[in-house]
Amino acid sequence: MKRAELIFIPSPGIGHLVPTLEFAKLLIDRDDRILITVLVMKPSTSPHVEACTRPVAGSQSRIQLIELPQVDPPPLELVRRYPEYFITLSVESQVSNVRKVVSEIVSSRSGSDSVRVTGLVLDFFCVSMIDVASELGLPSYMYLTSNAGFLNFMLYLSTHHGERINSTEFEYSDSELLIPGFVNPVPVSVLPLCSFNKNGYTTFVKLAQRFRDVNGIIVNTLSELEPYTINLLSGGLNPPVYTVGPVLQVEGQSNPDSDEAQSRKIMRWLDDQPESSVVFLCFGSKGSFSPLQVKEMATGLEQSEYKFLWSLRISPPNNEVLVYNQSLNDDIFPVGFLERIRGRGMICEWAPQVEVLAHKAIGGFVSHCGWNSILESLWYGVPIVTWPLYAEQQLNAFKMVKELGLAVEMRLDSRRDGDLVMANEIEKAVRRVMDGDSEIRKKVKEMAEISRKSLMDGGSSFISIRQFIDLNF
C-alpha cells in the first residue's frame, strides 16, 4: 500500500502544539495510508510541552515525534513585551535544524516504493520554513490554529501595509478598518496587541507576506461558522483554503500542574448542582489578574447571585503569577467573601476545562476568547462572556459578538494589565449569559449541533479534510 508522509512543524507553545497534534490524529484516523512526523521545538518558556506530546508518542504508531535540538533562546525580556517577535525569532533559530532533519527524512524515503514525503504543514509562525520545502521540491501548507477572521486580518496586513501612512504600527486613534471578510468595520482597538508596537507589527507583516506562498491554508474552523469570510477566501485570489474544524481535544488536556484529587473534587461539586446553573470562569494558562481586579471579579460574581466555578491566577505587582490556593484569604478577596459564597461558589487554581464545559451544570463561560476555548464552548453549547486578554483574543471577541452574534459582550478590547473591569460590568454580563431564554443561548445550541455534523460523513469539514488528504495521493 502506497503511503504519504506529512511533516508537521508547529510553533512552540501549548496553544499551537495541541491543536496541531489533534489535527494530525484526525488525519490518520481518516486515512490509514497517512504517516505523520511532527518536529517539536521545546523552548524554555513552554515547560509543559512534554506533557502534551507524551500521550501521542505512546499511543499513535503512525505519528512520529522528533524533538529538535534546543538552541540559545532570544533575550527572555522579549517574552512579555513582544511575544510574537520572540516566538518568530525562536522559530527562525531552528531553520537550520529543520532543514537538516527534513532532508534526512526525505533522503531516507527516496528509495522507498511504499512511502513518500508529500509536504510540510507549517504553523503560521513557521512560514519562513516554506523555503525549506521549496529547496526540497515539496509543497508547503499552513495550518492556522485560529479562525478565518484572523486569516483575513493577516491577508489585509500583507496587502495594505504599504498603503498605510509611514507603513508603521497602528495607533489607537486610527480610524476603523474595512477588512475584507468582515461584515462590520473593525475598530482598531480590537486588533492584536502586537499591532501597536514596531517589533510586533513588523513581525506580523513579515509573516503575513508569506501566507500566499503556501500551496494551501488549513484553518481550524467550519464554513457554517464563518460563511461570509470563507466565501470571500474561496474567491481564487488566495491559496486554496481547507476548513477542517472544529479540531478539539475532546478527551481533555493533561496539565502537569493539575491535581487529580482537585479535579475529582470539582466534578463532584458540579454533579451536585442543577442543570445550567453554574457560570465557569477560566482564562487559559497565561490569564492572570491583579489583586485589585480579583476583588472586582469577586464582587461582581457575588452580586450576580449565580453559582460559579472560578479558575484563578493572580499576578501581584512583582509580576510573578500565583495560582489560587487555600492560603489565600480575605487579603485577596473582599472581607468576608469566602464565607458568604460558601456552597455557592468554588475557586480553584486549575480546572479541567473540557470536562467542565461538557458538564450539564455549566450554563455560561467567562473566557479570554482563545480560539481553542471558543471552539470548545461552541462544541458543548455553552455561551461565552468575552473578556479578552492577549494575542488575537480581542479580534476573536469582536468576531463572536459583532459578526456572529454568538457571545455576550462584556469587553471587546480589554487587555492584560489594562483598565479594571468593574464589578457591575461582571455582574451584568453573568446575568445575561445565564439567561436561559436568550437568543444567544439558542444560537450557540444550534451551532453545537452544526459543529458536530460538520465532521460527520458528508459534513463540510469532513469533505474539506478529504480534499486535503487527496492532495497527497
Q: For 166-202, give the DSSP string.
A: GG----TTSPPB--TT-SSPBPGGGS-GGGGSHHHHH
Return the pLDDT at 110.
Answer: 83
* Residue 385, domain CATH: 3.40.50.2000
Domain contains 314: yes
Return the pLDDT at 36.
Answer: 97
Residues 106 and 202 reside in one and the same domain: yes
Residues 202 and 296 reside in one and the same domain: no
Nearest Cα residue to 132 out of 161, 99, 171:
99
Radius of gyration from C-alpha coordinates of the chain:
22
Residues 412 and 428 reside in one and the same domain: yes
Return the pLDDT at 163.
Answer: 72
Residues 318 and 175 reside in one and the same domain: no
Residues 271 and 162 reside in one and the same domain: no
The total of structural domains in the chain comes to: 2
pLDDT along the chain (473 residues), means of 10: 94 89 96 96 66 64 93 87 92 96 94 90 97 97 97 93 74 92 97 94 95 97 97 85 94 61 94 98 90 96 98 70 53 90 93 96 98 98 97 97 98 92 98 94 98 98 97 87
Residues 71 and 144 reside in one and the same domain: yes
For residue 31, the enclosing domain spans 3-245+455-470
Residues 235 and 317 reside in one and the same domain: no
Residues 277 and 239 reside in one and the same domain: no
Domain contains 255: no
Domain contains 282: yes
Q: Using alpha carbons, list the distances in angstroms from residue 336 to 158, 305, 350.
A: 53, 16, 23
Return the pLDDT at 331.
Answer: 75
Residues 240 and 320 reside in one and the same domain: no
Return the pLDDT at 53.
Answer: 67
Element (H, E) at 85: helix 83-92
Domain contains 78: yes
Return the pLDDT at 238.
Answer: 82
Return the pLDDT at 113.
Answer: 80
Return the pLDDT at 324.
Answer: 53
Residues 17 and 102 reside in one and the same domain: yes
Question: DSSP character for 342?
Answer: B
